[in-house]
Amino acid sequence: MRIAPPIIVTYGRSLDDARHVIEAHDLWNCEPSNVPWLGLRITNVKDLTAFALRFAEEVDFEGHIAIVPPGLIPEVEAFIRQMSMGRRVKRYDLAAVVSGTRMMRPCSRRCGG
């Protein structure tokens, strides 16, 4: 299942900031998800290419950042171990916003970009 594109994306903010964005823009059918997503910064071009070839249909990409839904995290972590990419990949905890049955892109708690 492909994630629907976001209406509003806010990176580098806390979960409380995400709640404020929801209220400020009258997105009353949205709420922060209690299940964290995974952000991966993959700067090695070969690693990024291999990862994108494997997960292009299931993961969203913002440049060198892959945004991984919670249900896919174990499979992604196994792939990273299998490809020995662990030390070259930086991980971020992401907070997502739920809108009905679709997920909007997550807001990062630590990612500055």
Mean pLDDT of the chain: 77
pLDDT cut 90: percent of the chain above it: 34
SS (H, E, C) 11-52: CCCCHHHHHHHHHHCCCCCEEECCCCEEEEEECCHHHHHHHH
> What is the domain partition of the chain in residue ranges?
15-108
CA pair distance 109, 112, nearest whole angstrom: 9
Integer-rounded Cα Rg, in Å, for the chain is 14
Res. 13: pLDDT tops 70: no
CA pair distance 30, 41, nearest whole angstrom: 27
pTM exceeding the 0.75 threshold for the entire prediction: no
Res. 110: pLDDT tops 50: no
pLDDT confidence tier of residue 102, bands split at 50, 70 and 90 = very low
The continuous run of DSSP H or E covering 73 comes out as helix 73-82
Write out pLDDT tens, residues 14-69: 767 767 777 777 766 666 677 788 999 999 999 999 999 999 989 988 889 998 98
CA pair distance 98, 33, nearest whole angstrom: 6
